[in-house]
Chain A
Amino acid sequence: ETGVTQSPTHLIKTRGQQVTLRCSSQSGHNTVSWYQQALGQGPQFIFQYYREEENGRGNFPPRFSGLQFPNYSSELNVNALELDDSALYLCASSLAWQYTDTQYFGPGTRLTVL
C-alpha cells in the first residue's frame, strides 16, 4: 500500500461528457503526476503539479486539465470525452519533482467512454 488513493475506481461515460478524477497523495508528498494507460500500453505522462502549480505537460490536448489543492490532493478533468479517452488513469505522488524522487502510484481509475 502506497498511501496514494484514487476515486472513483471505475467510471462509465458517454462521448461528449465531462469527467473529474480525484487523487490523494501520500503524506508528505507535494508533487502529483497523472498518467494515461491505454490497454496493452505503457503509461503516458499527462501533466505534473508541484505545490499547486502545473510544472510540465505531456502531449495531451487542453481538454485535459487539472488542479492541485493546498493539501496536495489533485483532480484531473477531461472535457468533451472521446472514445479514445477510454483508459486506466494513474495518479502518482512523490516527495518532490526531481528525477531522483520515486513516484508512488495509486490503484488507478478505469474510465470507459461509450
Chain B
Amino acid sequence: AQKITQTQPGMFVQEKEAVTLDCTYDTSDQSYGLFWYKQPSSGEMIFLIYQGSYDEQNATEGRYSLNFQKARKSANLVISASQLGDSAMYFCAMREGKVQGAQKLVFGQGTRLTINP
C-alpha cells in the first residue's frame, strides 16, 4: 500500500533563508506521481509542484524545487528565499498509476512551516 511520511511536524525559518521540507514515500508501483501542496490557514489546498516517477530531471517551479531521489524514495521540497507568505502547512502526496480504480492522492501528515521576520 502506498504511504507518505513527513517527519517534521514543524519548521521555523528566518525570512530569505532557504528551507527543505522532507518527504519519503513507499510504493511497489513503477509509475507514480509526487505532489506538494500548500495549505494556508484559510484551508484551500494550493498545488506547488509535481514530479513523475520517470522524470529524470528534478522539477522546478519558480522558488520551489523538488529534490527527487528515487532509490532512496524521497521527494523533498526546497523553497528558496523564503517569504512571510510562505508560512502555512505543507503536504507531500503521491498518486500511483494503478491499472484499475481511482488513482487517488495519498497525503502525508504535513509540516507546519513558520517564517520569522
Query: Contact residues of A with B, CB < 8 Å?
Result: 2, 33, 35, 41-45, 47-48, 55-58, 88, 90, 92, 97-100, 102-108, 110
Contacts and interface: CB of A to CB of B under 8 A. Distances in A.
Contacts, number: 76
A98 B46 contact: no
Nearest to B55: A100
Contacts of A58: 104
Contacts of B4: 42
Interface string B100-115: 0111111111100000
Interface residues of B, number: 30
Interface of B: 4, 31-33, 35, 37, 42-47, 50, 52, 91, 93, 95-98, 101-110
Given A99-B95, A100-B52, A45 B46 contact: no
Contacts of A90: 43, 45
